[in-house]
Amino acid sequence: MRIIAIIIFFTLICKNLIAEEYNYKISTLNVTFATISLNLNKSYAAANIKSKGLIGFFYKFQSTAFTSYDDNTSEYKYTRSKKNFSKKLNAKFMGKDARINFENIKTKKGYKKINISDLTKVSDPLSALTEILKKGLNNCNFSEKVFDGEDVYILKLVDTNLTRNEHKLCTLYYQTVSGHKIKREKKLNNIKINIFYPVHNRDISNIYFETKVNNIPMKMISTTK
User: What's the CA gap between 223 and 163, in Å, rounded?
Assistant: 23
Task: List the one residue out of 80, 82, 195 whose CA is nearest residue 148.
Answer: 80
For residue 174, the model assigns a pLDDT of 96
For residue 162, the model assigns a pLDDT of 95
Residue at 186: amino acid letter? K
Confidence (pTM): 0.83
User: What's the CA gap between 206 and 170, in Å, rounded?
Assistant: 14
User: What's the CA gap between 137 and 75, in Å, rounded?
Assistant: 27
Task: List the one residue out of 114, 113, 79, 112 whose CA is nearest residue 98.
Answer: 114
Query: Domain residue spans in the chain?
Result: 2-222
Please answer whether residues 149 and 78 qualify as being in contact, where contact means their C-beta atoms are separated by less than 8 angstroms: yes
Alpha helices, DSSP H only, in the chain? 2-11, 53-58, 125-136, 185-189
For residue 16, the model assigns a pLDDT of 43
Tens-binned pLDDT, residue by residue, of the chain (225 aa): 555 555 555 554 444 444 456 667 778 877 787 887 766 677 877 778 887 766 555 567 788 888 898 888 999 999 988 777 888 999 999 988 998 766 556 678 899 999 989 999 999 887 777 777 778 888 899 899 999 999 999 999 999 999 999 999 999 999 999 999 999 999 999 999 999 999 988 777 778 889 888 888 888 776 765
For residue 56, the model assigns a pLDDT of 55
Please answer whether residues 49 and 36 qualify as being in contact, where contact means their C-beta atoms are separated by less than 8 angstroms: yes
For residue 208, the model assigns a pLDDT of 85
